[in-house]
Amino acid sequence: MSGITIQPGHIPAERISTQPENYLNWSTNVKDWLLTGDHKRIAVMYVISISFFFSLGAIAAAGIRIALLNYHDQFFQNETYNKLFSMHGIVMIFFFLVPSIPATLGNFLIPLMVGARDLAFPRLNLLSWYLYIIGGTLTLLAIIFGGIDTGWTFYTPYSSIYSNTNVVLAISGVFIAGFSSILTGINFIVTVHKMRAPGLTWFRLPLFVWAMYATSLIMVLGTPVVAITLLLVLVERTLNLGIFNPANGGDPILFQHMFWFYSHPAVYIMILPGFGVISELIACFTRRRIFGYSFVAFSSIAIATLGFFVWGHHMFVTGQSMYSSMVFSIISFLVAVPSAIKVFNWTATIYKGRVWFTAPMLYAMGFIGLFTIGGLTGLFLAALAVDIHLNQTYFVVAHFHYVMVGGATLAYLGGIHFWWPKMTGRMYPEFWAKLSAGLTFVGFNLTFFPQFIVGYLGMPRRYHYYAPEYQTWQVMSTAGSSVLGLGYLIPGIYLIWSLKYGAIAGPNPWGAKGLEWTVPSPPPSHNFDEIPIVTEDAYMYHDEDQVLADKDRAAMGITEQGEEHDV
């Protein structure tokens, strides 16, 4: 692809200090981090900050699971329980899932993948991180000053009139964080349009870039609507104008329309980048070009487009017109088609591949399985008559966790492992990574599968007290969540460990295709000494790549099976 050669040589550990200058080590000055325009540094700052918010959300989840061990829990007050699930939802959605892959892997990889030296607007990119931090801080303050109890959906008139908690603070935080998404989206769109390397046509782009492009479209088109909506809630709450409150002539259902107009597409903001990551992982670890490249690419765009016309499926029981419900229902069924295209194309890619069972590949396979279940259970909720029963029950909770945790989070973890050597220059310990991929998969299913059953039984979500007959399922769920928690905790430990003790990675430890693997790990600040010229399609794997990768890894002290030996 480019003139840059892969260096298969072994870099001894003691030479780390004399490693060539890269984006991490050129300056350790705090100011050079906080005022950086380097997309890679900003990505690292995002990794750190979203990990913090993820931990916060996970702590809230642990509280919820503890409370639900007992059907008449005495450990928390109702009020506290409500604040826990609200905090879990708000933090996980707005401060982890929405920015997770785009702001970290997207920021890091898009310029590298398109052969550019940075994003189109580096300072805008830095601003988006600051907005995220300001938004996050406000929400954090809302939590510290006593929490918020509206749920992440902020339904009116509860949020605008009745709740006595820190709604204004939390909503302001989410409002500001929204601008961070918008800026990131604009940056990606412009970068993909204008800054692709010579020869890198649209249909030579890695599928990750396609997925990020589709995501960016949603961010730019959808986020302003939720910003307006939340602003209106603030206006009603502080100035008592009748917008959503019927006592003042407002309409509470209007809020739901506006909220879901963003928040359903937001689901695709969370999962589309995951699709992109999985396409990269599957291609690399089967040594195959993704089967039906153009179908996979366009299915991302199709999902992003259709996603804007299904918001009413959240509102089948609000009393919205029967015919609107039918239209929303059938369009929701249509989303199944591009989703199915992706899943089947990934499956077909494995056929006649050369499958290499690394931890990222295990995450990818787990993703396909869980996303399949998550997607298919979405059909239950799109089916009008069935949704009447399932709406607002644990079935919904289980469904979106299969998509958001089984899907998006698994993809994020898989991607972090896959590009970890590129980002840090160090390998993660393969054994522990495989173990935690397994634990995550098992723990996840144990946590959320029982919730499908308890949901069909009729247990509503957001219930602190519940009928005793559901307890067995809830206890099972809590047991599973502790396994799942372990599956998250272990990577947290070994990834930090690997920063110092991990095997030093060459530029391309996976023998992967893609421009990001043609530069050293970690890449230099300017990414490419010379802008590469692209002459072939994406994922053009040859057997020689494998040989090179194996040689590279052998030099790093990693054996064929990926088991790690002493460095």
Partner 1 sequence: MNIPFFPEQASTFAQDVDNIYFLLCALTLFFTALVLGLITFFAIRYRRGNNKVDRSNAPEEHLPLELTWSIIPLILGIGVFIWSAKPFTYVYRPPADALEIFVIGKRWMWHVQHANGIRENNELHIPVDKPIKLTMISQDVIHGFFVPAFRVKRDVLPGRYNTVWFQPTKIGRYHLYCTEYCGTNHSEMGGWVTVMAATDYQKWITTGGAPGPTPTIQETLVSQGASLYQTYACANCHQSQNGVHGPSLYGIYGKERKLTSGQTVIADDSYLRESIVQPESKIVAGYQNLMPAYPVGAEAGQLTEEQVLSMVAYIKTLGTNSAPVAPAAAIPSQPAHPFDGVPHTPPINGLNGTGLNGTKPADKKGTQAVPAAKPGPAPSNVGMMPADGSVPQMPTFKATPDTNPTVKPTTSAPAGNKSSAEPVTKPGTSTVAPGRTPS
Of residues 356-375, which lie at the interface with partner 1 (CB under 8 A)?
356-357, 365, 368-369, 372-373
Single out the segment in contact with partner 1 by CB under 8 A; choices: 34-42, 122-130, 172-180, 450-458: 450-458
The distance of Cα 188 from the centroid of its chain, to the nearest Å, equals 16
Q: Which of 16, 35, 231, 337 touches partner 1 by CB under 8 A? A: 337
In angstroms, give the least distance from the CB of 43 to partner 1: 30
Considering only residues 292 to 321 of the shown chain, the ones binding partner 1 according to CB under 8 A are 292-295, 316-319, 321
Position 546 contacts partner 1 (CB under 8 A): yes
Comparing CB distances to partner 1, the nearer of 132 and 539 is: 539
What 20-27 contacts at long range (C-beta under 8 Å, 24+ apart), as own/partner pairs, is 20/520, 20/524, 21/524, 21/525, 22/425, 22/520, 22/522, 22/523, 22/524, 22/525, 23/522, 23/523, 23/524, 23/525, 24/424, 24/425, 24/522, 26/525
Comparing CB distances to partner 1, the nearer of 105 and 304 is: 304
Task: Let me know: does 264 contact 295? Beta carbons within 8 Å.
Answer: no
Comparing CB distances to partner 1, the nearer of 137 and 561 is: 561
Position 340 contacts partner 1 (CB under 8 A): yes
Q: Which of 191, 279, 329, 424 touches partner 1 by CB under 8 A? A: 329
| Burial track 545-567 (b if 16+ CB lie within 10 A, e otherwise) | beebbebbbebbebeeebebeee
Count the alpha carbons within 13 Å of 445 in the hemisphere toward its beta carbon. 12
Position 497 contacts partner 1 (CB under 8 A): no
Single out the segment in contact with partner 1 by CB under 8 A; choices: 114-122, 215-223, 334-342, 492-500: 334-342
What gap in Å lies between CA 391 and CA 564, rounded to an integer?
A: 48
Comparing CB distances to partner 1, the nearer of 190 and 253 is: 253
Instruction: State in Å, rounded, how far the first CA of the chain is from the last one.
Output: 31
Task: Let me know: does 343 contact 368? Beta carbons within 8 Å.
Answer: yes
Considering only residues 378 to 437 of the shown chain, the ones binding partner 1 according to CB under 8 A are 379-380, 382-386, 388-389, 391-393
The radius of gyration of the chain's CA atoms, rounded to the nearest angstrom, is 23
Considering only residues 39 to 68 of the shown chain, the ones binding partner 1 according to CB under 8 A are none
Considering only residues 115 to 174 of the shown chain, the ones binding partner 1 according to CB under 8 A are 149-151, 153, 155, 157-158, 161-163
Q: Which of 3, 146, 460, 492 touches partner 1 by CB under 8 A? A: 460
Task: Let me know: does 285 contact 361? Beta carbons within 8 Å.
Answer: yes
What gap in Å lies between CA 87 and CA 20, rounded to an integer?
A: 44
Q: Which of 421, 422, 353 is nearest to 558 (CA)?
A: 421
Comparing CB distances to partner 1, the nearer of 99 and 443 is: 443
DSSP string, 61-122: HHHHHHHTTSTT--SS-HHHHHHHHHHHHHIIIIIIIHHHHIIIIIHHHHHHHHT-SS-S-H
> What are the distances in angstroms from CA 45 to CA 121, 395, 410, 519?
17, 36, 21, 21
Considering only residues 511 to 530 of the shown chain, the ones binding partner 1 according to CB under 8 A are none
Position 263 contacts partner 1 (CB under 8 A): no
Q: Which of 453, 479, 548, 567 touches partner 1 by CB under 8 A? A: 453
| Close Cβ partners of 307 (under 8 Å, ≥ 6 residues apart) | 218, 264, 265, 267, 268, 335
In angstroms, give the least distance from the CB of 329 to partner 1: 6
Position 336 contacts partner 1 (CB under 8 A): yes
Considering only residues 278 to 297 of the shown chain, the ones binding partner 1 according to CB under 8 A are 286-289, 291-295
Interhelix angle 410-424/107-114, rounded to 10 degrees, is: 60
Q: Which of 61, 209, 343, 484 touches partner 1 by CB under 8 A? A: 343
Comparing CB distances to partner 1, the nearer of 112 and 161 is: 161
Number of residues that bind partner 1 (CB under 8 A): 95
Q: Which of 5, 30, 351, 566 touches partner 1 by CB under 8 A? A: 351
In angstroms, give the least distance from the CB of 480 to partner 1: 16
What gap in Å lies between CA 131 and CA 137, rounded to an integer?
A: 10
In angstroms, give the least distance from the CB of 365 to partner 1: 6
Single out the segment in contact with partner 1 by CB under 8 A; choices: 346-354, 408-416, 486-494, 499-507: 346-354
Q: Which of 62, 124, 228, 462 touches partner 1 by CB under 8 A? A: 462
